[in-house]
Structure 1
Amino acid sequence: MQRTSGSARDQPNSSATRPRCSSSQRIKQPNPQYTTMPKTILITGTNPGGIGNSLAREFHAKGLRVFATARNTDSITDLAEIGIETLSLEVTDPESIKALKEEVASRTSGSLDYLVNNAGRNYTVPATDIDFEQVQLTYEVNVFGVMRMCQAFTPLLIEAKGTIVQIGSLAGVMPYVFGSVYNSTKAALHSYSNTLRVELEPFDVKVVTVVTGGVKSRIARNDWQLPRDSIYLPIEAEYLRRTKHSQEVGMPNEKYAKSVVSQVLGGRHKRQFWEGSFSHIVWFLTTFMPARIFDYIFWRNFGMWKLREAHTKKVA
Protein backbone atom coordinates (compact mmCIF):
# COMPACT_ATOMS: atom_id res chain seq x y z
CA MET A 1 0.00 0.00 0.00
CA GLN A 2 1.31 3.38 -0.96
CA ARG A 3 2.11 5.70 1.93
CA THR A 4 0.21 8.98 1.80
CA SER A 5 2.14 12.17 1.34
CA GLY A 6 0.42 13.72 4.34
CA SER A 7 2.70 12.10 6.86
CA ALA A 8 4.52 14.60 9.02
CA ARG A 9 7.64 12.52 8.63
CA ASP A 10 7.64 13.17 4.86
CA GLN A 11 7.01 16.97 5.12
CA PRO A 12 9.96 19.35 4.97
CA ASN A 13 11.09 20.26 8.46
CA SER A 14 10.95 24.08 8.48
CA SER A 15 13.06 24.32 11.58
CA ALA A 16 15.69 22.15 10.02
CA THR A 17 15.84 24.01 6.72
CA ARG A 18 15.70 27.56 8.14
CA PRO A 19 19.14 29.19 8.30
CA ARG A 20 20.28 29.63 11.85
CA CYS A 21 21.96 32.77 13.14
CA SER A 22 24.56 32.71 15.81
CA SER A 23 24.07 34.97 18.81
CA SER A 24 26.69 37.30 17.36
CA GLN A 25 24.76 37.54 14.08
CA ARG A 26 21.37 38.35 15.56
CA ILE A 27 20.27 41.96 15.22
CA LYS A 28 20.01 43.49 18.66
CA GLN A 29 17.26 45.96 19.46
CA PRO A 30 18.50 49.24 20.91
CA ASN A 31 18.27 49.55 24.67
CA PRO A 32 16.21 52.65 25.56
CA GLN A 33 18.43 53.17 28.59
CA TYR A 34 21.33 53.99 26.30
CA THR A 35 19.50 55.73 23.47
CA THR A 36 17.64 58.32 25.58
CA MET A 37 19.44 61.63 25.68
CA PRO A 38 20.31 62.81 29.20
CA LYS A 39 18.31 65.67 30.62
CA THR A 40 20.03 69.04 30.61
CA ILE A 41 20.50 71.46 33.48
CA LEU A 42 22.02 74.93 33.77
CA ILE A 43 23.23 76.11 37.19
CA THR A 44 24.40 79.63 38.02
CA GLY A 45 27.04 80.41 40.64
CA THR A 46 29.07 77.19 40.84
CA ASN A 47 32.38 78.30 42.36
CA PRO A 48 34.17 75.77 44.61
CA GLY A 49 33.01 75.65 48.21
CA GLY A 50 29.51 76.86 47.46
CA ILE A 51 26.05 75.36 47.09
CA GLY A 52 26.09 75.61 43.30
CA ASN A 53 29.29 73.58 42.99
CA SER A 54 27.85 70.76 45.07
CA LEU A 55 24.57 70.87 43.13
CA ALA A 56 26.47 70.61 39.84
CA ARG A 57 28.39 67.58 41.09
CA GLU A 58 25.28 65.84 42.42
CA PHE A 59 23.18 66.40 39.28
CA HIS A 60 26.14 65.18 37.21
CA ALA A 61 26.36 62.05 39.38
CA LYS A 62 22.68 61.40 38.65
CA GLY A 63 23.38 61.32 34.93
CA LEU A 64 22.27 64.79 33.85
CA ARG A 65 24.15 66.87 31.33
CA VAL A 66 25.24 69.81 33.47
CA PHE A 67 26.12 73.32 32.31
CA ALA A 68 27.89 75.05 35.21
CA THR A 69 28.52 78.79 35.14
CA ALA A 70 30.79 81.33 36.81
CA ARG A 71 32.12 84.77 35.92
CA ASN A 72 35.45 83.16 35.07
CA THR A 73 35.51 79.53 33.97
CA ASP A 74 39.09 79.24 35.26
CA SER A 75 37.56 79.22 38.75
CA ILE A 76 35.52 76.06 38.07
CA THR A 77 38.07 73.81 36.40
CA ASP A 78 37.33 71.29 39.16
CA LEU A 79 33.95 70.73 37.50
CA ALA A 80 35.36 70.56 33.98
CA GLU A 81 37.75 67.84 35.13
CA ILE A 82 34.85 65.50 35.94
CA GLY A 83 33.05 66.07 32.64
CA ILE A 84 30.79 69.00 33.45
CA GLU A 85 30.48 71.65 30.75
CA THR A 86 31.59 75.03 32.12
CA LEU A 87 30.45 78.35 30.69
CA SER A 88 31.04 82.01 31.50
CA LEU A 89 28.18 84.10 32.93
CA GLU A 90 27.79 87.47 34.61
CA VAL A 91 24.18 87.53 35.83
CA THR A 92 24.18 91.34 36.08
CA ASP A 93 25.03 91.71 32.36
CA PRO A 94 22.17 91.20 29.86
CA GLU A 95 24.63 90.65 27.01
CA SER A 96 26.38 87.88 28.95
CA ILE A 97 23.02 86.19 29.56
CA LYS A 98 22.11 86.49 25.88
CA ALA A 99 25.41 84.93 24.81
CA LEU A 100 24.94 82.09 27.30
CA LYS A 101 21.43 81.38 26.04
CA GLU A 102 22.65 81.16 22.45
CA GLU A 103 25.50 78.84 23.43
CA VAL A 104 23.28 76.52 25.45
CA ALA A 105 20.62 76.47 22.71
CA SER A 106 23.25 75.51 20.14
CA ARG A 107 24.39 72.59 22.30
CA THR A 108 20.92 71.29 23.18
CA SER A 109 18.97 71.90 19.95
CA GLY A 110 17.02 74.68 21.63
CA SER A 111 15.77 73.09 24.83
CA LEU A 112 16.63 73.02 28.54
CA ASP A 113 15.16 70.69 31.15
CA TYR A 114 16.24 72.52 34.32
CA LEU A 115 17.38 76.03 35.19
CA VAL A 116 18.79 76.45 38.71
CA ASN A 117 19.12 80.09 39.76
CA ASN A 118 21.66 79.73 42.55
CA ALA A 119 23.99 82.74 42.12
CA GLY A 120 23.58 85.06 45.07
CA ARG A 121 25.21 87.83 47.03
CA ASN A 122 25.09 88.52 50.76
CA TYR A 123 24.96 91.96 52.37
CA THR A 124 24.80 92.01 56.17
CA VAL A 125 24.56 95.57 57.49
CA PRO A 126 22.01 97.29 59.77
CA ALA A 127 19.24 99.01 57.83
CA THR A 128 20.37 102.47 58.98
CA ASP A 129 23.97 101.87 57.82
CA ILE A 130 23.42 100.60 54.29
CA ASP A 131 25.49 101.73 51.32
CA PHE A 132 23.13 102.16 48.38
CA GLU A 133 25.72 101.05 45.84
CA GLN A 134 25.92 97.76 47.73
CA VAL A 135 22.12 97.61 47.87
CA GLN A 136 21.89 98.07 44.10
CA LEU A 137 24.50 95.37 43.44
CA THR A 138 22.78 92.93 45.80
CA TYR A 139 19.45 93.43 44.02
CA GLU A 140 21.14 93.11 40.62
CA VAL A 141 22.47 89.66 41.53
CA ASN A 142 19.71 88.26 43.75
CA VAL A 143 16.61 89.62 42.01
CA PHE A 144 17.17 91.26 38.64
CA GLY A 145 19.69 88.62 37.56
CA VAL A 146 17.17 85.87 38.31
CA MET A 147 14.47 87.71 36.39
CA ARG A 148 16.76 88.13 33.38
CA MET A 149 17.72 84.45 33.43
CA CYS A 150 14.11 83.30 33.62
CA GLN A 151 13.07 85.63 30.81
CA ALA A 152 15.94 84.56 28.56
CA PHE A 153 15.63 80.81 29.07
CA THR A 154 11.83 80.45 29.13
CA PRO A 155 11.64 79.49 25.41
CA LEU A 156 14.14 76.65 25.98
CA LEU A 157 12.27 75.51 29.09
CA ILE A 158 8.94 75.52 27.26
CA GLU A 159 10.46 73.38 24.52
CA ALA A 160 11.49 70.78 27.13
CA LYS A 161 8.51 71.22 29.49
CA GLY A 162 11.19 71.98 32.02
CA THR A 163 11.59 73.19 35.58
CA ILE A 164 12.98 76.36 37.14
CA VAL A 165 14.57 75.84 40.56
CA GLN A 166 14.98 79.01 42.61
CA ILE A 167 17.38 78.90 45.56
CA GLY A 168 15.54 80.95 48.15
CA SER A 169 16.28 81.48 51.84
CA LEU A 170 14.82 81.51 55.33
CA ALA A 171 15.87 85.16 55.26
CA GLY A 172 12.93 85.77 52.93
CA VAL A 173 10.38 84.71 55.55
CA MET A 174 11.77 86.08 58.83
CA PRO A 175 13.40 89.31 60.12
CA TYR A 176 16.99 88.08 60.32
CA VAL A 177 18.61 91.07 62.05
CA PHE A 178 21.21 93.16 60.21
CA GLY A 179 20.11 91.54 56.96
CA SER A 180 17.33 93.87 55.82
CA VAL A 181 18.70 94.20 52.28
CA TYR A 182 19.48 90.51 51.77
CA ASN A 183 16.21 89.52 53.45
CA SER A 184 14.24 91.76 51.13
CA THR A 185 15.92 90.34 48.02
CA LYS A 186 14.95 86.81 49.05
CA ALA A 187 11.41 87.85 49.91
CA ALA A 188 11.20 89.44 46.46
CA LEU A 189 12.55 86.23 44.89
CA HIS A 190 9.92 84.13 46.68
CA SER A 191 7.08 86.41 45.61
CA TYR A 192 8.33 86.66 42.03
CA SER A 193 8.68 82.87 41.83
CA ASN A 194 5.17 82.26 43.16
CA THR A 195 3.72 84.44 40.42
CA LEU A 196 6.03 83.03 37.75
CA ARG A 197 4.87 79.53 38.68
CA VAL A 198 1.24 80.41 37.93
CA GLU A 199 2.12 82.24 34.71
CA LEU A 200 4.22 79.39 33.28
CA GLU A 201 1.91 76.54 34.30
CA PRO A 202 -0.10 76.73 31.01
CA PHE A 203 3.16 75.98 29.16
CA ASP A 204 3.96 72.93 31.34
CA VAL A 205 6.95 74.68 32.92
CA LYS A 206 7.24 74.14 36.67
CA VAL A 207 8.75 76.58 39.17
CA VAL A 208 10.10 75.26 42.48
CA THR A 209 11.48 77.40 45.30
CA VAL A 210 13.95 75.91 47.78
CA VAL A 211 13.66 77.78 51.07
CA THR A 212 17.24 77.32 52.24
CA GLY A 213 18.31 77.32 55.87
CA GLY A 214 21.85 77.36 57.19
CA VAL A 215 24.30 75.80 54.72
CA LYS A 216 28.07 76.06 54.74
CA SER A 217 29.03 78.01 51.63
CA ARG A 218 31.01 80.99 50.38
CA ILE A 219 28.18 83.51 50.74
CA ALA A 220 29.40 84.88 54.11
CA ARG A 221 33.02 85.29 53.01
CA ASN A 222 32.91 89.11 53.10
CA ASP A 223 34.13 90.79 56.29
CA TRP A 224 31.48 93.44 56.83
CA GLN A 225 32.18 96.13 59.43
CA LEU A 226 30.02 98.68 61.18
CA PRO A 227 30.63 102.34 60.31
CA ARG A 228 32.32 104.18 63.18
CA ASP A 229 29.23 106.38 63.62
CA SER A 230 26.78 103.46 63.68
CA ILE A 231 24.15 103.46 66.41
CA TYR A 232 24.84 99.71 66.73
CA LEU A 233 28.44 100.05 67.96
CA PRO A 234 27.40 99.14 71.55
CA ILE A 235 26.63 95.62 70.30
CA GLU A 236 29.37 95.36 67.67
CA ALA A 237 30.42 91.94 68.97
CA GLU A 238 26.90 90.60 68.42
CA TYR A 239 26.86 92.14 64.94
CA LEU A 240 30.14 90.44 63.98
CA ARG A 241 28.85 87.13 65.33
CA ARG A 242 25.71 87.54 63.25
CA THR A 243 27.70 87.97 60.01
CA LYS A 244 29.11 84.44 60.42
CA HIS A 245 26.13 82.82 62.13
CA SER A 246 24.76 80.87 59.14
CA GLN A 247 28.17 79.29 58.57
CA GLU A 248 28.69 78.30 62.19
CA VAL A 249 25.46 76.30 62.30
CA GLY A 250 25.19 75.42 58.62
CA MET A 251 24.57 72.03 57.08
CA PRO A 252 27.42 70.74 54.85
CA ASN A 253 26.62 71.87 51.32
CA GLU A 254 27.18 68.34 49.96
CA LYS A 255 24.41 67.01 52.22
CA TYR A 256 22.15 69.90 51.21
CA ALA A 257 22.81 69.20 47.51
CA LYS A 258 21.96 65.50 47.82
CA SER A 259 18.61 66.31 49.43
CA VAL A 260 17.72 69.06 46.95
CA VAL A 261 18.64 66.97 43.91
CA SER A 262 16.67 64.02 45.24
CA GLN A 263 13.57 66.17 45.69
CA VAL A 264 13.91 67.98 42.35
CA LEU A 265 14.29 64.71 40.43
CA GLY A 266 11.90 62.73 42.60
CA GLY A 267 8.81 63.36 40.51
CA ARG A 268 6.81 65.03 43.28
CA HIS A 269 6.05 68.42 41.82
CA LYS A 270 6.20 70.57 44.94
CA ARG A 271 5.87 74.31 44.65
CA GLN A 272 8.27 74.79 47.53
CA PHE A 273 10.40 72.75 49.87
CA TRP A 274 12.59 73.60 52.85
CA GLU A 275 16.16 72.38 53.32
CA GLY A 276 19.16 73.31 55.48
CA SER A 277 19.75 73.88 59.18
CA PHE A 278 16.68 75.13 61.09
CA SER A 279 14.54 75.10 57.94
CA HIS A 280 11.90 72.76 59.33
CA ILE A 281 11.76 74.60 62.65
CA VAL A 282 11.23 77.89 60.83
CA TRP A 283 8.57 76.28 58.63
CA PHE A 284 6.72 75.20 61.77
CA LEU A 285 7.01 78.64 63.38
CA THR A 286 5.88 80.51 60.25
CA THR A 287 2.97 78.12 59.78
CA PHE A 288 1.62 77.76 63.29
CA MET A 289 2.99 80.61 65.44
CA PRO A 290 2.41 84.38 65.46
CA ALA A 291 4.94 86.45 63.52
CA ARG A 292 6.13 88.22 66.69
CA ILE A 293 7.83 84.99 67.79
CA PHE A 294 10.73 85.91 65.50
CA ASP A 295 10.98 89.39 67.01
CA TYR A 296 11.56 87.80 70.40
CA ILE A 297 14.03 85.20 69.08
CA PHE A 298 16.25 87.73 67.34
CA TRP A 299 15.90 90.26 70.16
CA ARG A 300 17.34 87.71 72.57
CA ASN A 301 19.87 85.95 70.32
CA PHE A 302 21.57 88.97 68.77
CA GLY A 303 21.73 91.44 71.63
CA MET A 304 18.91 93.84 70.86
CA TRP A 305 18.14 93.91 74.57
CA LYS A 306 21.73 95.03 75.27
CA LEU A 307 21.28 97.86 72.81
CA ARG A 308 18.10 98.94 74.61
CA GLU A 309 20.00 99.04 77.91
CA ALA A 310 22.87 101.03 76.39
CA HIS A 311 20.47 103.50 74.79
CA THR A 312 18.48 103.91 78.01
CA LYS A 313 21.64 104.74 79.96
CA LYS A 314 22.74 107.21 77.31
CA VAL A 315 19.52 109.23 77.37
CA ALA A 316 19.06 109.03 81.15
Structure 2
Amino acid sequence: MAARKTVLITGCSDGGIGSALATTFQQRDFHVFATARDPSKMGDLKDLPHMTFLKLDVTNTIDIKEAVKAVAKHAGRNGTLDVLISNAGRNHFMPILDDDLDVVRNIFEINFLGPIALTQAFAPMLIKAKGMIAYITSTSGYLNVPYMGTYSASKRSLEIVGETLRLEIAPFGVDYQQNRLYKSIESTVAIRAQGGDGLPRMDTLEYANSVTDDILARTTGRVWYGGFAEQTKMSTTATGVPQTAMDSGALMGTDLDKVVN
Protein backbone atom coordinates (compact mmCIF):
# COMPACT_ATOMS: atom_id res chain seq x y z
CA MET A 1 0.00 0.00 0.00
CA ALA A 2 1.40 3.39 -0.98
CA ALA A 3 2.28 5.74 1.85
CA ARG A 4 -0.19 8.55 2.44
CA LYS A 5 0.75 11.90 1.01
CA THR A 6 1.50 14.57 3.58
CA VAL A 7 0.34 18.13 4.13
CA LEU A 8 1.40 20.67 6.74
CA ILE A 9 -1.11 23.40 7.54
CA THR A 10 -0.48 26.39 9.80
CA GLY A 11 -3.10 28.13 11.91
CA CYS A 12 -5.39 25.16 12.64
CA SER A 13 -7.15 26.51 15.72
CA ASP A 14 -10.78 25.46 16.12
CA GLY A 15 -13.37 27.20 13.98
CA GLY A 16 -11.03 28.64 11.38
CA ILE A 17 -9.97 27.98 7.80
CA GLY A 18 -6.92 25.96 8.87
CA SER A 19 -9.03 23.53 10.89
CA ALA A 20 -11.43 23.11 7.98
CA LEU A 21 -8.55 22.49 5.58
CA ALA A 22 -7.05 19.93 7.97
CA THR A 23 -10.38 18.09 8.15
CA THR A 24 -10.76 18.15 4.37
CA PHE A 25 -7.26 16.87 3.62
CA GLN A 26 -7.66 14.13 6.23
CA GLN A 27 -10.84 13.08 4.43
CA ARG A 28 -8.85 13.01 1.18
CA ASP A 29 -6.54 10.35 2.72
CA PHE A 30 -3.61 12.65 3.55
CA HIS A 31 -1.55 12.47 6.71
CA VAL A 32 -2.03 15.95 8.14
CA PHE A 33 0.46 17.92 10.21
CA ALA A 34 -1.92 20.35 11.91
CA THR A 35 -0.15 23.23 13.61
CA ALA A 36 -1.04 26.11 15.89
CA ARG A 37 0.73 28.35 18.37
CA ASP A 38 -1.33 26.62 21.07
CA PRO A 39 -1.98 22.95 20.22
CA SER A 40 -4.71 22.75 22.88
CA LYS A 41 -6.86 24.93 20.61
CA MET A 42 -7.06 22.19 17.94
CA GLY A 43 -9.61 20.12 19.87
CA ASP A 44 -11.98 19.74 16.91
CA LEU A 45 -9.33 17.62 15.17
CA LYS A 46 -8.13 15.49 18.08
CA ASP A 47 -10.17 12.36 17.29
CA LEU A 48 -9.35 12.23 13.57
CA PRO A 49 -6.92 9.54 12.37
CA HIS A 50 -3.71 10.24 10.47
CA MET A 51 -3.11 13.55 12.21
CA THR A 52 0.04 14.88 13.87
CA PHE A 53 -0.33 17.98 16.06
CA LEU A 54 2.57 20.38 16.29
CA LYS A 55 3.22 23.60 18.18
CA LEU A 56 4.22 26.14 15.57
CA ASP A 57 4.55 29.89 15.83
CA VAL A 58 5.61 30.94 12.33
CA THR A 59 7.72 33.78 13.78
CA ASN A 60 9.71 31.39 15.97
CA THR A 61 12.73 29.83 14.26
CA ILE A 62 12.99 27.08 16.87
CA ASP A 63 9.35 26.05 16.29
CA ILE A 64 9.99 25.94 12.54
CA LYS A 65 13.09 23.77 12.96
CA GLU A 66 11.20 21.38 15.25
CA ALA A 67 8.36 21.15 12.73
CA VAL A 68 10.85 20.25 9.98
CA LYS A 69 12.32 17.54 12.23
CA ALA A 70 8.86 16.12 12.98
CA VAL A 71 7.90 15.90 9.32
CA ALA A 72 11.28 14.40 8.40
CA LYS A 73 10.93 11.78 11.13
CA HIS A 74 7.49 10.79 9.85
CA ALA A 75 8.67 10.71 6.24
CA GLY A 76 11.65 8.51 7.09
CA ARG A 77 14.02 7.81 4.21
CA ASN A 78 11.56 9.37 1.79
CA GLY A 79 12.07 12.79 3.37
CA THR A 80 9.31 14.61 1.51
CA LEU A 81 6.38 16.93 2.13
CA ASP A 82 3.72 16.98 -0.58
CA VAL A 83 1.79 20.13 0.35
CA LEU A 84 2.58 23.18 2.49
CA ILE A 85 -0.31 25.51 3.31
CA SER A 86 0.52 28.82 5.02
CA ASN A 87 -2.75 29.83 6.59
CA ALA A 88 -1.73 31.23 9.99
CA GLY A 89 -2.20 34.94 10.21
CA ARG A 90 -3.27 37.79 12.43
CA ASN A 91 -6.20 40.03 11.63
CA HIS A 92 -5.94 43.73 12.42
CA PHE A 93 -8.34 46.66 12.34
CA MET A 94 -7.05 50.15 13.07
CA PRO A 95 -7.08 53.54 11.32
CA ILE A 96 -3.65 54.04 9.78
CA LEU A 97 -2.99 57.33 11.60
CA ASP A 98 -3.67 55.61 14.94
CA ASP A 99 -1.69 52.46 14.21
CA ASP A 100 1.11 51.44 16.56
CA LEU A 101 4.08 50.74 14.30
CA ASP A 102 5.37 47.99 16.59
CA VAL A 103 2.04 46.24 16.14
CA VAL A 104 2.29 46.71 12.38
CA ARG A 105 5.80 45.21 12.37
CA ASN A 106 4.41 42.21 14.26
CA ILE A 107 1.59 41.87 11.72
CA PHE A 108 4.15 41.66 8.92
CA GLU A 109 6.27 39.20 10.92
CA ILE A 110 3.27 36.87 11.18
CA ASN A 111 1.46 37.43 7.88
CA PHE A 112 4.41 38.05 5.56
CA LEU A 113 7.81 36.97 6.90
CA GLY A 114 6.54 33.86 8.70
CA PRO A 115 5.26 32.13 5.54
CA ILE A 116 8.52 32.95 3.73
CA ALA A 117 10.58 31.46 6.57
CA LEU A 118 8.41 28.35 6.57
CA THR A 119 8.69 27.96 2.80
CA GLN A 120 12.47 28.25 2.92
CA ALA A 121 12.66 25.66 5.71
CA PHE A 122 10.51 23.08 3.92
CA ALA A 123 11.78 23.80 0.38
CA PRO A 124 14.11 20.74 0.23
CA MET A 125 11.26 18.38 1.16
CA LEU A 126 8.83 20.06 -1.23
CA ILE A 127 11.30 19.98 -4.11
CA LYS A 128 12.02 16.30 -3.50
CA ALA A 129 8.28 15.58 -3.59
CA LYS A 130 7.66 17.96 -6.51
CA GLY A 131 5.02 19.27 -4.19
CA MET A 132 2.66 22.18 -3.83
CA ILE A 133 2.78 25.44 -1.84
CA ALA A 134 -0.35 27.43 -1.00
CA TYR A 135 -0.60 30.82 0.69
CA ILE A 136 -3.98 31.88 2.11
CA THR A 137 -4.23 35.61 1.48
CA SER A 138 -7.22 37.97 1.34
CA THR A 139 -9.36 39.86 -1.15
CA SER A 140 -8.84 42.86 1.13
CA GLY A 141 -5.42 43.18 -0.50
CA TYR A 142 -7.20 44.42 -3.62
CA LEU A 143 -9.53 46.88 -1.88
CA ASN A 144 -9.08 50.07 0.12
CA VAL A 145 -11.14 49.02 3.14
CA PRO A 146 -11.03 51.55 6.00
CA TYR A 147 -9.26 50.31 9.16
CA MET A 148 -7.72 47.36 7.30
CA GLY A 149 -4.90 49.14 5.49
CA THR A 150 -1.89 47.58 7.22
CA TYR A 151 -3.45 44.11 7.42
CA SER A 152 -4.39 44.26 3.73
CA ALA A 153 -0.87 45.38 2.84
CA SER A 154 0.63 42.38 4.64
CA LYS A 155 -1.62 39.97 2.74
CA ARG A 156 -1.08 41.62 -0.64
CA SER A 157 2.66 41.60 -0.05
CA LEU A 158 2.56 37.86 0.59
CA GLU A 159 0.61 37.34 -2.62
CA ILE A 160 3.25 39.20 -4.63
CA VAL A 161 5.91 36.96 -3.08
CA GLY A 162 3.80 33.90 -3.88
CA GLU A 163 3.29 34.85 -7.50
CA THR A 164 7.01 35.53 -7.89
CA LEU A 165 7.89 32.28 -6.14
CA ARG A 166 5.57 30.44 -8.53
CA LEU A 167 7.86 31.41 -11.40
CA GLU A 168 11.14 30.93 -9.52
CA ILE A 169 10.33 27.45 -8.21
CA ALA A 170 8.70 26.07 -11.36
CA PRO A 171 11.99 24.61 -12.71
CA PHE A 172 12.06 22.29 -9.68
CA GLY A 173 8.60 20.88 -10.38
CA VAL A 174 6.99 22.58 -7.37
CA ASP A 175 3.71 24.46 -7.87
CA TYR A 176 2.47 27.51 -6.09
CA GLN A 177 -1.03 28.93 -4.48
CA GLN A 178 -2.89 55.54 21.58
CA ASN A 179 -3.95 59.07 20.78
CA ARG A 180 -6.87 57.98 18.64
CA LEU A 181 -8.26 60.38 16.08
CA TYR A 182 -11.14 57.96 15.44
CA LYS A 183 -12.27 57.55 19.07
CA SER A 184 -15.83 58.58 18.19
CA ILE A 185 -16.27 55.52 15.94
CA GLU A 186 -14.13 53.11 17.96
CA SER A 187 -17.11 50.78 18.47
CA THR A 188 -17.60 50.50 14.70
CA VAL A 189 -13.96 49.49 14.23
CA ALA A 190 -14.33 46.88 16.99
CA ILE A 191 -17.52 45.45 15.47
CA ARG A 192 -15.91 45.15 12.04
CA ALA A 193 -12.87 43.45 13.60
CA GLN A 194 -15.24 40.75 14.86
CA GLY A 195 -16.81 40.21 11.44
CA GLY A 196 -19.78 42.44 12.10
CA ASP A 197 -19.69 44.28 8.80
CA GLY A 198 -22.92 42.71 7.54
CA LEU A 199 -21.17 41.01 4.61
CA PRO A 200 -21.71 37.32 3.82
CA ARG A 201 -18.99 34.82 4.69
CA MET A 202 -18.33 31.58 2.84
CA ASP A 203 -18.72 28.46 4.99
CA THR A 204 -15.24 27.33 6.07
CA LEU A 205 -15.71 23.70 4.99
CA GLU A 206 -17.09 24.79 1.60
CA TYR A 207 -14.04 27.04 1.26
CA ALA A 208 -11.70 24.25 2.37
CA ASN A 209 -13.12 21.76 -0.13
CA SER A 210 -12.79 24.24 -3.00
CA VAL A 211 -9.19 25.11 -2.08
CA THR A 212 -8.31 21.42 -1.58
CA ASP A 213 -9.73 20.56 -5.00
CA ASP A 214 -7.49 23.20 -6.59
CA ILE A 215 -4.41 22.06 -4.68
CA LEU A 216 -4.93 18.41 -5.62
CA ALA A 217 -5.51 19.45 -9.24
CA ARG A 218 -2.21 21.35 -8.98
CA THR A 219 -3.90 24.58 -10.02
CA THR A 220 -1.25 27.30 -9.96
CA GLY A 221 -1.51 31.05 -9.63
CA ARG A 222 -4.35 32.90 -7.89
CA VAL A 223 -7.63 31.24 -7.02
CA TRP A 224 -10.55 33.21 -5.60
CA TYR A 225 -13.02 31.99 -2.97
CA GLY A 226 -15.06 33.66 -0.25
CA GLY A 227 -17.76 36.28 0.08
CA PHE A 228 -17.55 38.74 -2.83
CA ALA A 229 -14.36 37.09 -4.05
CA GLU A 230 -15.64 36.77 -7.61
CA GLN A 231 -16.80 40.40 -7.70
CA THR A 232 -13.41 41.54 -6.40
CA LYS A 233 -11.66 39.43 -9.02
CA MET A 234 -13.78 40.92 -11.81
CA SER A 235 -13.21 44.51 -10.70
CA THR A 236 -9.46 44.29 -10.07
CA THR A 237 -8.00 41.77 -12.51
CA ALA A 238 -10.06 42.18 -15.68
CA THR A 239 -7.09 43.32 -17.78
CA GLY A 240 -7.81 41.02 -20.69
CA VAL A 241 -4.19 39.82 -20.66
CA PRO A 242 -3.84 36.05 -20.05
CA GLN A 243 -1.71 34.99 -17.07
CA THR A 244 0.52 32.96 -19.42
CA ALA A 245 1.35 36.12 -21.36
CA MET A 246 2.08 38.02 -18.14
CA ASP A 247 4.33 35.17 -17.00
CA SER A 248 6.22 35.10 -20.29
CA GLY A 249 7.00 38.77 -19.99
CA ALA A 250 8.09 38.42 -16.37
CA LEU A 251 10.36 35.48 -17.22
CA MET A 252 12.25 37.23 -20.04
CA GLY A 253 15.98 37.40 -19.29
CA THR A 254 15.75 35.53 -15.97
CA ASP A 255 17.39 32.30 -17.24
CA LEU A 256 14.95 30.27 -15.12
CA ASP A 257 14.50 28.05 -18.17
CA LYS A 258 18.17 27.09 -17.79
CA VAL A 259 17.93 25.90 -14.18
CA VAL A 260 19.17 22.33 -13.94
CA ASN A 261 16.87 20.23 -11.76
Q: Aligning the two structures, in what range does the TM-score lie when normalised by the shorter sequence?
A: 0.7 to 0.9
Matched, 1:53 2:16: no
Which one of the candidate residues 257, 260, 270 is aligned to 2:208?
A: 257
Partner in structure 1 of residue 152 of structure 2: 183
SS of 1:263's equivalent? helix
Q: Give runs of aligned pairs for residues 1-316 of structure 1, distance below 5 A.
A: 35-83=1-49, 84-109=51-76, 110-208=79-177, 227=178, 229-243=179-193, 244-245=195-196, 249-265=200-216, 267-288=217-238
SS of 2:154's equivalent? helix
1:192/1:59 Cα in 2 relative to 1: closer, same or farther (>3 Å)?
A: same
Q: Which amino acid aligns with 1:124?
A: F
Distance 2:71 2:184 in 1: 52
String of CA shifts for 1:67-126, please: whole Å, max 9, x gaps.
Answer: 101122222243131122111111111111011101111111310000000000011100
**TM-score of the superposition, structure 2-length normalised?**
0.85
Distance 1:127 1:174 in 2: 15
Greater mean alpha carbon deviation, residues 54-63 or residues 86-95: 86-95
Contact kept in structure 1, 2:93 and 2:189, CA below 8 Å: no
Contact kept in structure 1, 2:14 and 2:43, CA below 8 Å: no
Distance 2:170 2:143 in 1: 28
Distance 1:77 1:239 in 2: 30
Contact kept in structure 2, 1:79 and 1:86, CA below 8 Å: no
The percentage of counterpart residues that share the same residue type is 36
Pair member with larger Rg: 1
Gaps of 5+ in 1: 1-34, 209-226, 290-316
Distance 2:18 2:198 in 1: 16
Distance 1:42 1:234 in 2: 43
Aligned residue pairs, count: 235
Q: Which amino acid aligns with 2:205?
A: E
Gaps of 5+ in 2: 240-261
Please list every run of at least 4 consecutive aligned residues from structure 1 whose deviation after the TM superposition is greater than 6 angstroms.
Answer: none
Contact kept in structure 1, 2:175 and 2:218, CA below 8 Å: no
Distance 2:84 2:7 in 1: 6
1:145 offset after TM fit, Å?
0.6
